[in-house]
């Protein structure tokens, strides 16, 4: 091995524990809720008002008073109709009256149930309603029944998904506090490698591994990934690639090394104290001390 001591493989669990022990929290930043998909929330999302903000009809049908029903039947005078978004009905619903109402519209004052339109029959101003199971607040989504003002709807530390975007929009949380993206640098090593757009010589191959890793990393909203470069099998070139230029939080190679390559990388990363793990996940840069060099994880 050219004087290079062969390291004993550590287990996957040991490698994972060492990596997690070395992890530090990244900073925070503000971003639009529209751009927060896949990010980690660092400040809770709270209800800015009661949800729903009013007693809301859960059905298309007729708002009525339960006291007007006998054996689940009622013959009532329809006093008008109310669509969602049209505001509140200006009058209190009186005994013997009903109001045609759309899903999402505010239930009128005085009404304590909604009968769905399928259980109604209209004849001029008179509407016949049938609901054997009618009870107080049937088909009415009560004000504040989902959340009271100030209630935390999404906890800090949550990995944000499309559902959280809808929650943010519903409470006007258009600017969110999230973790900064983790900077990852992918490097390729091998004298035989050339860029994909180049025509390789007979003894060369195009670098495909780094493209694969970058594509995988890009799928995560947590990561800002970049190509650190392609370096020949030369210790000095490797050191330049690992320790110079771009300052990522994490460095990963796109190559699994054989004995010769391992010895060169071993020389190039001696300060970071690298070891091999028995699992491919940590095969490239599992740490021992753990593997932190200039605030970067290997």
Query: Is the peptide bond between 290 and the residue preceding it cis, with omega within 30 degrees of 0?
Result: yes
Inter-residue contact 215 to 228 (CB < 8 Å): no
DSSP letters of 116-142? EGGGEEEETTEEEEE-TT--TTBTEE-
Pairing of strands 45-46, 56-57: unpaired
Confidence of residue 148 (pLDDT cuts 50, 70, 90): very high
CATH number for the 56-141 domain, one of 3.60.15.10, 2.170.190.11, 1.10.3720.10, 2.60.40.420? 2.170.190.11
At 230 the pLDDT is: 79
Inter-residue contact 107 to 63 (CB < 8 Å): yes
User: Quick one: average pLDDT of 205-224?
Assistant: 85
For residue range 158-200, what is the model confidence (pLDDT) as tens digits? 999 999 999 999 999 999 999 998 888 787 878 888 888 999 9
At 265 the pLDDT is: 54
Q: Alpha carbon of 109 to those of 106, 125, 131: distances in Å?
A: 9, 20, 21
At 224 the pLDDT is: 83
Tell me the C-alpha distance between 185 and 125, whole Å: 72
Task: Please give the order of strands across the beta sheet that includes 126-130.
Answer: 113-116, 61-64, 97-101, 73-82, 126-130, 120-123
At 279 the pLDDT is: 38
Structure tokens at 114: 């909604």
Inter-residue contact 126 to 102 (CB < 8 Å): no
User: Quick one: average pLDDT of 89-105?
Assistant: 97
Is a pLDDT exceeding 70 seen at residue 37? yes
For residue range 49-75, what is the model confidence (pLDDT) as tens digits? 999 999 999 999 999 999 999 999 999
H helices of the chain, where? 12-22, 162-170, 209-218, 235-243, 259-268
At 103 the pLDDT is: 97
Inter-residue contact 31 to 168 (CB < 8 Å): no
* Count of C-beta atoms within a 10 Å radius of residue 26: 15
Inter-residue contact 96 to 76 (CB < 8 Å): yes
- Residue ranges of the domains in the chain? 12-26+181-297, 34-51+146-178, 56-141
Is a pLDDT exceeding 90 seen at residue 206? yes
At 243 the pLDDT is: 61
Burial class of residue 248 (count of CB atoms within 10 Å of its CB; 0-12, 13-18, 19+): buried
Is a pLDDT exceeding 70 seen at residue 20? yes
Is a pLDDT exceeding 80 seen at residue 34? yes
At 242 the pLDDT is: 64
User: Quick one: average pLDDT of 218-237?
Assistant: 78
Query: Is the peptide bond between 211 and the residue preceding it cis, with omega within 30 degrees of 0?
Result: no
At 250 the pLDDT is: 60
Residue 12 sits at φ, ψ, to 5 deg, of -60, -40
Tell me the C-alpha distance between 99 and 109, whole Å: 11
Confidence of residue 273 (pLDDT cuts 50, 70, 90): very low
First-last CA distance in the chain: 23
For residue range 276-287, what is the model confidence (pLDDT) as tens digits? 443 333 333 333
Tell me if the domain spanning 34-51+146-178 has CATH number 3.90.105.
yes
Q: Provide the mean pLDDT of the chain.
A: 82
Tell me if the domain spanning 12-26+181-297 has CATH number 3.30.465.10.
no
Confidence of residue 291 (pLDDT cuts 50, 70, 90): very low
């Amino acid at each position: 091995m050219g004087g290079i001591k062969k390291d004993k493989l550590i287990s996957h669990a040991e490698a994972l524990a060492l990596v997690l022990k070395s992890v530090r929290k990244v900073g925070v930043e503000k971003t639009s809720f529209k751009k927060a998909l896949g990010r980690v929330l660092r400040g809770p999302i709270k209800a800015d008002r009661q949800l729903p903000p009013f007693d809301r009809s859960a059905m298309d049908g007729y708002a009525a008073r339960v006291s007007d029903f006998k054996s689940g039947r009622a013959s009532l005078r329809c006093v008008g109709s109310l669509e969602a978004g049209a505001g509140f009905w200006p009058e209190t619903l009186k005994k013997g009256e009903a109001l045609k109402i759309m899903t999402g519209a505010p239930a009128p004052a005085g009404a304590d149930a909604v009968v769905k339109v399928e259980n109604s029959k209209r004849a001029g101003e008179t509407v016949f309603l049938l609901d054997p199971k009618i009870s107080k607040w049937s088909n009415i989504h009560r004000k504040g029944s989902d959340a009271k003002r100030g209630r935390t709807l999404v906890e800090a530390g949550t990995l944000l998904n499309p559902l959280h975007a809808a929650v943010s929009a519903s409470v006007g949380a258009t600017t969110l506090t999230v973790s900064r993206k983790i900077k990852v640098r992918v490097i390729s090593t091998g004298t035989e490698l050339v860029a994909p757009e180049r025509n390789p010589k007979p003894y060369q191959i195009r670098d495909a591994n780094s493209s694969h890793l970058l594509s995988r990393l890009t799928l995560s909203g947590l990561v800002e990934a970049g190509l650190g470069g392609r370096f020949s099998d030369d210790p000095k070139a490797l050191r330049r690639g690992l320790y110079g230029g771009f300052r990522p939080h994490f460095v990963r190679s796109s190559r699994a090394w054989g004995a010769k390559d391992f010895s060169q990388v071993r020389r190039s990363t001696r300060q970071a104290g690298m070891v091999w793990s028995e699992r491919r996940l940590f095969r490239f840069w599992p740490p021992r001390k753990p593997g932190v060099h200039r605030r970067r994880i290997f």
